[in-house]
């Protein structure tokens, strides 16, 4: 039977055990389980748990909790500031950002100078810079240290830092020199030279690098932590694997928002005004494009009136055109996310997507011609007159078939070229997707479809 950590933790809390015994038993559970338990407690129970665990342990558990602002709102600002001082700097910043402005300012007034400086060091970087994700949760030693002294430093600092799998090695001026893996330090002999176990070509990132550009390398190396350096190659902080996961999640969230036509990610706690502000710009653009599409339809009023059967298959052409364009868009955006690949493969990708759209359109066009013609033949569906005519059925089937071929080819080209053009004018290519690219493809397919219907039935 699967155990229930929350029930077990509750039994420990309400038990008659001493505080020391309660703390010992509670700490046998993972911080994530304790954080989930914390969310279920009342104010007096949270205060009791804080008293049992102490500030340092309680602060670490808060970094795993959801809705932290609700958990600490009953604490005095001074106590909240003390807890933030025990957290990793990136977690402390996350908590501060969740607080109301007045509450945040009051808490900040109680934060100690060292914590305040650490927070300011991170906040100087833009949200899309990798430096905004760094933490001070790391252990460092100097290049000229001995094995024995480095081990002493590790033991001394391990109580305050849980990110100890890598020890960062600095030169005297703070310049990053390399890393030592914990395993190598443990098995090294005291008489050996520290230089022997230092990895000098360890991957690093500059604090001002954009997160989006760092993700491919973060994924490629898949390490537990990475050094973050300034332009002078000095160590500012590190980004851990947990921070990487959070960064990836946020990037996906931002991209998803852009796919939906939002100018920036919308938070669930945003006010109505903030949500309107984020959604409105692209909705206005889509409105203008939608009006253009409607105006274009008025030019084919005679076609719609004379050939109502053509309208029945409009959705087919528009949908397949949109699908083809979206596929090309996805491939192109993936290419654009890697700058090195981008330089070499842009033209190749455009031509590839153009050819792919053409052959997909050709195959589906032939299939659609056969199915639509058989449908008209079996149902005796008329086109121009009330009487079924084989010649008209062939022409109508041909219009659908040719429209699919042309529309899917053009849409694939548009799906590939538009995000590339957006990059050239310094607009995030992700906003070229979703509603925007779909509307562009709809207009294109509409003009092709009804234009061919006009030519085939009104002119020829």
Cβ-based burial of 396 (10 A; exposed 0-12, middle 13-18, buried ≥19):
buried
pLDDT band at 203 (very low <50, low <70, confident <90, very high): very high
Does residue 229 carry a pLDDT above 60?
yes
Distance of CA 186 to the CA centre of its chain: 38
Structure tokens at 203: 């991957």
Residues 254 and 298 reside in one and the same domain: no
Average pLDDT over residues 360-386: 89
Whether residue 106 is found in the same domain as residue 145: no
290 & 240 share domain: no
> Pick from 9, 41, 14, 4: which is nearest to 25 by CA?
9
Check if the beta carbon of residue 303 is closer than 8 Å to that of residue 310. Answer: yes
- pLDDT for 278 equals 66
| Residue 266: pLDDT band with limits 50, 70, 90 | very low
* Residues 357 and 407 both lie in one domain: yes
Mean pLDDT score, 82-107: 83
Mean pLDDT for 333-343 is 63
Q: Is residue 268 part of a domain?
A: no
pLDDT at 250: 63
Q: How distant, in Å, are the alpha carbons of 10, 105, 165, 391 from that of 39?
A: 12, 25, 30, 72
pLDDT at 155: 85
User: Are residue 67 and residue 213 in the same domain, yes or no?
Assistant: no
351-358 CB contacts, 8 Å cutoff, 24+ apart: 353/328, 353/412, 353/413, 353/415, 353/416, 354/409, 354/412, 354/413, 354/416, 356/328, 356/412, 357/324, 357/328, 357/408, 357/409, 357/410, 357/411, 357/412, 357/413, 358/405, 358/408, 358/409, 358/412
Q: Which residues have a Cβ under 8 Å from the Cβ of 179 and sit 6 or more positions away?
A: 166, 167, 168, 169, 198, 199, 202, 227
Which DSSP string do the residues of 33-58 spell out, in sequence order?
A: HHHHHHTT--HHHHHHHHHHH-HHHH
Q: Is residue 110 part of a domain?
A: yes
Are 342 and 449 in contact by the 8 Å Cβ rule? The answer is no
Segment among 97-101, 289-293, 325-329, 425-429 with least mean pLDDT:
425-429
> What does the pLDDT read at residue 422?
78
Strands (E), 271-384: none
User: Which of 138-147, 285-294, 310-319 is predicted least confidently?
Assistant: 285-294
- Give the residue numbers spanning the domain of 150: 139-259
Residue 445 shares a structural domain with residue 317: yes
131 belongs to a structural domain? no
Token pair in block for residue 369: 């011609």
Nearest-angstrom CA–CA distance, 449 and 16: 79
Task: For residue 361, give both structure tokens.
Answer: 């359109």
Output 410 or 435, whichever has higher pLDDT: 410
CA distance 293 to 298: 9
Last residue of a domain, one of 194, 225, 259: 259
CA dihedral 286, 291, 296, 297 (to 10 degrees): 110
Mean per-residue pLDDT, 207-222: 82
Question: Is position 43 within any domain?
Answer: yes
DSSP symbols for 314-327: HHHHHHHHHHHHHH
The arithmetic mean of pLDDT across residues 141-151, rounded, is 89
363 band by pLDDT with thresholds 50, 70 and 90: very high
- Give the global pTM: 0.57
| Helix or strand (DSSP H, E) at 176 | strand 176-181
For residues 345 and 431, membership in a common domain is answered with: yes
Please report the pLDDT score of residue 132 as a whole number: 87
d(CA 228, CA 223): 14
Number of domains in the chain: 3
Q: What is the pLDDT of residue 83?
A: 86
Q: Answer yes or no: do 289 and 192 share one domain.
A: no
Shared domain for 307 and 453, answered yes or no, is: yes
CATH number at residue 443: 1.10.357.20
Domain boundary pick from 125, 154, 173: 125
Q: Is residue 265 part of a domain?
A: no
Q: Is residue 24 part of a domain?
A: yes
Residue 377 placed within a domain: yes
- Asked if 111 and 145 sit in the same domain, the reply is no
**Inter-CA distances, 1 with 4, 29, 33, 214, Å:** 9, 18, 18, 44
Q: Are residues 290 and 244 in the same domain?
A: no
- Please state the rounded mean pLDDT for residues 335-350: 68
Contacts of 373 (CB under 8 A, 6+ apart): 393, 394, 397
The CATH code of the domain that includes 200 is 3.10.580.10
Query: Coil, helix or strand for 265?
Result: coil
Alpha helices in 109-240 (DSSP H): 113-123, 147-157, 182-187, 211-221
CB within 8 Å of 407: residues ≥ 6 apart: 317, 320, 321, 324, 361, 441, 444, 445, 448, 449
288 and 151 fall within a common domain: no
Q: Across the chain, what does the average pLDDT equal?
A: 82
- Asked if residue 390 is part of any domain, the answer here is yes
Give the pLDDT confidence of 386-403 residue by residue, as tens digits.
Answer: 788 888 889 889 999 999
Q: Would you call 169 helix, strand, or coil by DSSP?
A: strand
């Amino acid at each position: 039977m699967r155990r229930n950590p929350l029930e077990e933790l509750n039994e420990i809390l309400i038990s008659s055990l001493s505080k020391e015994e309660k703390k010992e038993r509670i700490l046998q559970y993972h911080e994530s389980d304790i954080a989930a338990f914390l969310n279920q407690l009342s104010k007096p129970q949270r205060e009791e748990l804080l008293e049992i665990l102490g500030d340092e342990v309680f602060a670490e558990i808060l970094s795993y909790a959801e809705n932290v602002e609700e958990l600490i709102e009953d604490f005095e600002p001074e106590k909240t500031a003390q807890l933030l001082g025990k957290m990793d700097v990136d977690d402390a910043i996350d908590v501060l950002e969740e607080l109301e402005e007045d509450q945040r300012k009051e808490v900040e007034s109680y934060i100690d100078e060292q914590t305040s400086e650490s927070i300011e060091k991170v906040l100087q970087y833009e949200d899309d810079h990798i430096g905004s994700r760094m933490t001070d949760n790391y252990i460092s030693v100097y290049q000229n240290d001995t094995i024995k002294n480095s081990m002493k430093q590790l033991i001394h600092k391990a109580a305050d830092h849980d990110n100890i799998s890598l020890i960062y090695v600095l030169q005297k001026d703070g310049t990053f020199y390399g890393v030592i893996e914990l395993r190598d330090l443990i098995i090294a002999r005291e008489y050996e030279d520290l230089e022997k176990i230092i990895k000098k070509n360890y991957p690093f990132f500059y604090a001002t690098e954009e997160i989006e550009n760092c993700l491919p390398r973060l994924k490629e190396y898949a390490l537990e932590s990475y050094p973050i350096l300034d332009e002078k190659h000095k160590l500012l902080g590190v980004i851990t694997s947990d921070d990487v996961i959070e960064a990836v999640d946020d990037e996906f969230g931002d991209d998803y928002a852009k796919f939906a036509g939002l100018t920036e990610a919308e938070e669930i706690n945003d006010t109505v005004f903030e949500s309107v502000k984020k959604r409105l710009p692209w909705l206005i653009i889509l409105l203008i494009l939608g009006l253009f599409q409607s105006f274009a339809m008025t030019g084919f009023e005679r076609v719609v009136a004379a050939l109502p059967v053509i309208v029945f298959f409009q959705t087919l052409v528009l949908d397949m055109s949109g699908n083809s364009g979206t596929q090309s868009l996805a491939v192109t955006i993936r290419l654009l996310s890697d700058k090195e690949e981008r330089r070499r493969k842009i033209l190749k990708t455009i031509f590839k997507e153009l050819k792919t759209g053409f052959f997909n359109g050709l195959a589906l066009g032939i299939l659609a011609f056969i199915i639509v013609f058989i449908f008209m033949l079996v149902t005796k569906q008329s086109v121009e007159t009330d009487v079924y005519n084989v010649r008209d059925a062939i022409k109508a089937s041909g219009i659908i078939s040719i429209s699919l071929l042309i529309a899917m080819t053009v849409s694939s080209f548009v799906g590939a070229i538009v995000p590339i053009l957006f990059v050239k004018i310094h607009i995030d290519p992700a906003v070229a997707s979703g509603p925007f690219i779909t509307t562009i493809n709809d207009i294109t397919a509409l003009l092709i479809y009804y234009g061919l219907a006009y030519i085939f039935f009104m002119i020829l």
